[in-house]
Amino acid sequence: MAALLPVLLAHLLLCAHGATASAAATPPPLPILPVPSYAQLRWQLSEMALFLHFGPNTFTDSEWGTGRADPSVFAPSALDAGQWARVAARGGFGRVVLTAKHHDGFCLWPSALTNYSVAASPWRGGTGDVVAELTAAARAEGVGLGLYLSPWDRHEPVYGDTVAYNEHYMGQMTELLTRYGEVEEVWLDGAKGDAKKMNYMFDAWFALIHQLQQRVVIFSDAGPDTRWVGDEAGVAGYTCWSTFNKSSVTIGHTTEEYSRCGDPFGQDWVPAECDVSIRPGWFWHASEKPKNATTLLDIYYKSVGRNCLLILNVPPNSSGLISNEDIQVLQEFTEIRHTIFSHNFATNATVTANSVRGGQDNLQFAPSNVLENNIYSYWAPQERQTCWEMFFDLGQSASFNVLQLQEPIQLGQRVIEFHVDILIDELWQTIIEATTIGYKRLLKFPVTESRYLKLSIDSARADPLISFFGVFMDPFSDKYNLENHDKRTNSSGVIMLRTNNAAGSRSTAAM
């Protein structure tokens, strides 16, 4: 195989355009709009959040409370928000999101706007504040804080009076966003009951939230900052764009396919968030058991590995603690991720590309940048090319079944379609074809052995940029398949730039 290297290098030189490095620095390429805000970048980089559904439902064995449960039912005997935050930090979750108020209207902080809160419960003698305790615990562990404030309130008497209830809701939101320091995410939905007609003033809510918290992202069905993926299984579309048109959807009225896949022509940056519970229900129930670690791994591939954030619900039990069986699953989930992704067979690879922005000697955009786990370091090709290829020599043959790719999303999401080949008996053979990369793309395929790989970008919205390339071995997943998928990109007219795509079996010698 070593004899093939000169041939590969010759092919690169033939494909390269523009060549010599300039003494002056080469500016980075223009971003392709839309691009994420600072807060959205922080959100994406955190990759996973821990959702904490907790409240009277925990003690009444309910999912949707009626709003009529006596506050005395809220009586956790050993509540430890420090444990919740430690579980999050050790599991690699960048933030915790607490149901500060669910549909039953019970507030986990002493709200001055209602008597239906922890202040009316026996917990901590009526002086407790779950939000405050979690805030302190999260900061001690270095994880961010998020809060869910349900729009639907089945206890509040003014619910149904549009003006009065919107004022009530915004008053409670103000309490949450001014008492507890920085809040990284506000999570809300469009839930409402059938008994009373109610109009939510979302635009006013969003304006208030952004006014009170400058670094916050707001989640809802339709944004404005992050969107619901459209299901509660934690699974994104095989094609998944962070670009989206907020004007095409309204909260409570979304199209599942549009939410799952996004829009390559979208005018807004609204990445998707994948919510799923570790248990069958969202609140803790003694009769339910958690999913196993390999199921969580599969969800991870189909959420974080499809350019989304995974928000995994792990509900505290009636003692106020995350159950040991849930912690055990999370520990196993963490360990298997570490086992898989701690050894990148491409770490010491020799990387070349058929062109480099500023010339082949320009280290600023060098192909080797893709070996660094950093979205601010990336390979960029020479402008206006029609052939985008990267070649990897791992140094020795290796067996692998997982591919990881990343784009520097601060410059926009670009790649529409790509494929990866390996060299077998002097022939390039395609092992995976896929659509969209975004912040992170993880793809599984049958165990493959090779020393040489080629990444080909088949089409892109602008000159493609790659910030990371890695190949790994996953010995845990039960199935290695191409995950029956639909390669549609939401529009047959999406291709704006396209390579001359050579056959996967084309001979290296012929090149």
363 has a pLDDT exceeding 90: yes
Q: Is 79:130 a contact under the CB 8 Å cutoff?
A: yes
- Residue at token pair 């002086």: 127
The overall average pLDDT reported for the chain is 90
The mean pLDDT of 466-478, rounded to a whole number, is: 95
The mean pLDDT of 473-488, rounded to a whole number, is: 60
483 has a pLDDT exceeding 50: no
- How far, in Å, are 80, 99, 234, 235 from residue 276 at the CA level? 23, 15, 5, 9
Rounded CA Rg of the chain: 25
Q: Is 257:237 a contact under the CB 8 Å cutoff?
A: yes
Tokens of 371: 């070996």
Give the span between the Cα atoms of 414 and 136, in whole angstroms.
Answer: 40
Question: Among 371, 334, 374, 354, which Cα is nearest to 464's?
Answer: 354
What residue type is assigned to position 354 of the chain?
N
Three-state SS annotation for 349-417: CEEEECCCCCCCCCHHHCHHHHHCCCCCCCECCCCCCCCCEEEEEEEEEEEEEEEEEECCHHHCCCEEE
Query: What does the pLDDT read at residue 489?
Result: 36
CA dihedral in degrees (410, 411, 412, 413; nearest 10)? -90
Strand, helix or coil at 44?
Answer: helix
Per the DSSP assignment, residues forming a β-bridge with 309 are 273
22 has a pLDDT exceeding 50: no
273 has a pLDDT exceeding 80: yes
What residue type is assigned to position 144 of the chain?
G
Q: Is 465:364 a contact under the CB 8 Å cutoff?
A: no
pTM of the predicted structure, to 2 decimals: 0.91
Question: Among 11, 471, 98, 141, which Cα is nearest to 313's?
Answer: 98
287: how many CB neighbours lie within 10 A of its CB? 8
Give the span between the Cα atoms of 145 and 184, in whole angstroms.
Answer: 6
CA dihedral in degrees (403, 404, 409, 410; nearest 10)? -150
Question: Among 231, 234, 233, which Cα is nearest to 258's?
Answer: 231
Per the DSSP assignment, residues forming a β-bridge with 149 are 101
Give the span between the Cα atoms of 143 and 92, in whole angstroms.
Answer: 9
- Residue at token pair 């900061």: 139
Question: What DSSP character marks residue 253?
Answer: B
Lowest mean pLDDT among 15-29, 196-210, 401-415: 15-29
Give the span between the Cα atoms of 491 and 262, in whole angstroms.
Answer: 11
Query: What does the pLDDT read at residue 386?
Result: 87
